[in-house]
Amino acid sequence: MMNKTEMRSYRSLVAQSWTASAILLSVQLQRYRKNIIGSSCASLAHCFIAGMLIHTMFEVVLVGHSFGGTVLYALPAHPRYDITKMGLVMTLAAPITAPPLMMDEKMVSFYSSMHETWRKRNDELDHVGIVSYSGGLKDYQVPDHLAPVPENDRAIHRPSWSIRGVDTSADHLCILWCNQLVR
């Protein structure tokens, strides 16, 4: 983890935040949430295309929590996304294998296209590292069995309780600020 003085030496730090936290099980809010997923993929791909990061010579480390991590993992499925800039994808409590609750056919098609893209473009994506951390027994929203990356031998999955120096598992939000895990 870097402190402020170490962060000043980096040229740019781009952060994208999606704060659409409507998790009530009504039809209108679920439609809204599905549209957020698609627009999040599109807006993140647009950041790379429009020039925010296109002029960098370096590969980019992408860090995402919960469904933000799933959106980052799904970026290669976006038709206009340049995978050459993708260096490392680090997810925290992200449901990569399957969603915690399968609501409709759009969610099924999202996950199947995401996994199919990684299977088809495996050779193109062999420079991309994937690290997936899950919260452990205390994370009731995204259990450990949903966080591993399926059929990818370059991906690493670690529950928080299995990491040396981390004394306990973390719930879904605490995985973001748990000092033992972050450091």
Q: 45-97: per-residue pLDDT in tens?
A: 666 555 554 555 567 788 889 988 998 999 898 887 888 888 899 999 999 99
Radius of gyration of the chain (CA): 16
99-112 residue pLDDT tens: 998 888 889 999 99
| CA 139/CA 170 separation, integer angstroms | 6
150-166 residue pLDDT tens: 888 889 999 988 888 88
Kindly state the average pLDDT of the residues 5-29: 40
Q: Which two tokens stand for residue 69?
A: 């991590």
**What phi, psi does 17 have (nearest 5°)?**
-125, 130
The pTM assigned to this predicted structure is 0.71
124-156 residue pLDDT tens: 999 999 999 998 888 889 999 999 998 888 899
Domains and CATH numbers, the chain: 24-182 (3.40.50.1820)
Q: In what order do the strands lie in the sheet with 86-92?
A: 60-65, 86-92, 129-134, 155-159
Which among 146, 42, 155, 45 has a CA at the least distance from the CA of 90? Answer: 155
Angle at 57 between CA 53 and CA 63, to 5 degrees: 50
Q: How many CA atoms lie within 13 A of 66 on its CB side?
A: 17
Instruction: Determine if residue 180 is left, alpha or beta; phi over 0 gives left, psi from -120 to 50 gives alpha, anything else beta.
Output: alpha
| CA 96/CA 71 separation, integer angstroms | 9
Q: State the pLDDT at residue 22.
A: 32
Q: State the pLDDT at residue 148.
A: 93
| CA 168/CA 183 separation, integer angstroms | 14
Q: Would you say residue 34 has pLDDT above 80?
A: no
